[in-house]
Amino acid sequence: MKTFLKILLKYYLKYISKLIIFIHKPIIIVVAGSANKYFVKQEIKNRLLEKDFSVRANPKNFNTEIGMPLAILNLPSGYNCYKKWLPIVYSAFKKIFQANFPKFLVLSLGSSDPGDMKYLLKIIKPEIAVITEITQRYMEGFSDLNGLLNEYVCLVKKLNKKNLLLLNNDNLRIKSLEGDTKAKVITFGFSSDSDCQADIFKKIASGQNIKINFKNKSYNYNIKKFGKHHVYAQMAGLIIQAYVSEKIT
């Protein structure tokens, strides 16, 4: 019974989400990878907000077959409680008619079983995709790393030549995805051959000092967060902010 209701809910949310996307036509930016999705997604959202765009990003880890539609609809999860799901199901329908739908959706995509990515990409058609990291993490439903990599191949193949793909240039597996896509590719990382390159990365008492080189310009940031993964988030944010400012405004 539970499984049946879950399937029903999954497809209900899927088709409502598709309908809403069809009506409102937001620009969809997706963030995929086995690590650092949250921080990259937040940075992209913040950079777009800085430019006064209306943006919605998925809260928490709402990035699965049920979570992602909820993020699109801007609804909470009922988790394991039937009672909590009832008003959500009702609200989902009402969302079709909502005004002021955001111009941008920044969505992280979760993939813990083969085929997850394919399912999510039946709901949304991203215009920009970022692949943050591919490691041994989130191997739960995958027998090996190649199986996981296939999920990202599925994503990059979905992009067309008008779309943009950001690849972490420090990860060889991610780098190899460049050959599988028709989209314009921008690489980012610490490697010297990256299109967007982190030059200085220094820990200071109040956070980190970062220098990023992109399109013959240098950008200096002092951020209050610690860790190399935040440097990647800064680079992804910078690239997308520049791209959107140039192409979309």
Partner 1 sequence: MFERTKNLRLSIIKQIELKASVFPDAISLAQGVPSFDTPVCVKRRVERALRRGVVAKYSLSPGLPELRELIEIQLEKENMFYDWEKEIIVTAGTIEGITASILAITAPGDEIIIPEPTYTSYREVIYLAGCKPVFVPLNEKKGWAFGLNEYEKAITDRTKAIFFCNPNNPTGTIYSKEQQLGLAGLAKKYNLFIITDEVYKDFVYNNEQIFSLAEIPDLREQVIRIYGFSKAYAMTGWRVGYVHSDEKIIREIVKVHDALVTCAPVISQYAAMGALEMGEGDVENFNKNYKKRRALICARLDNLKNIFSYVYPQSAYYVFPKIKINIKNAWDFSLELLDKTHVAVVPGSAFGNNGEAHIRLSFGRSEEDINTAFDRFDDYFKNA
C-beta of 82 vs 90, nearer to partner 1? 82
The residues facing 196 across adjacent strands are: 188, 214
**Residue 167 and residue 183 in contact, taking contact as beta carbons nearer than 8 Å:** no
Closest CA to 104 of 47, 55, 164, 40: 55
Assign 28 to helix, strand or coil. strand
Q: Structure tokens of 101? A: 């739908």
C-beta of 45 vs 158, nearer to partner 1? 45
**DSSP string over 208-246:** EEEEEEETTEEEEEEES--STHHHHHHHHHHHHHHHHHH
| Least distance from partner 1 to the Cβ atom of residue 55, Å | 19
Does an H or E element contain 24, and which? helix 2-24
C-beta of 162 vs 203, nearer to partner 1? 203
| Least distance from partner 1 to the Cβ atom of residue 205, Å | 6
**Residue 184 and residue 165 in contact, taking contact as beta carbons nearer than 8 Å:** yes
Residues of this chain that interact with partner 1 (CB under 8 A) are: 35-36, 38, 60-61, 77, 79-80, 135, 137-141, 205-207, 224-229
Assign 181 to helix, strand or coil. coil
C-beta of 168 vs 181, nearer to partner 1? 168
C-beta of 76 vs 157, nearer to partner 1? 76
| Least distance from partner 1 to the Cβ atom of residue 231, Å | 11
| Least distance from partner 1 to the Cβ atom of residue 112, Å | 9
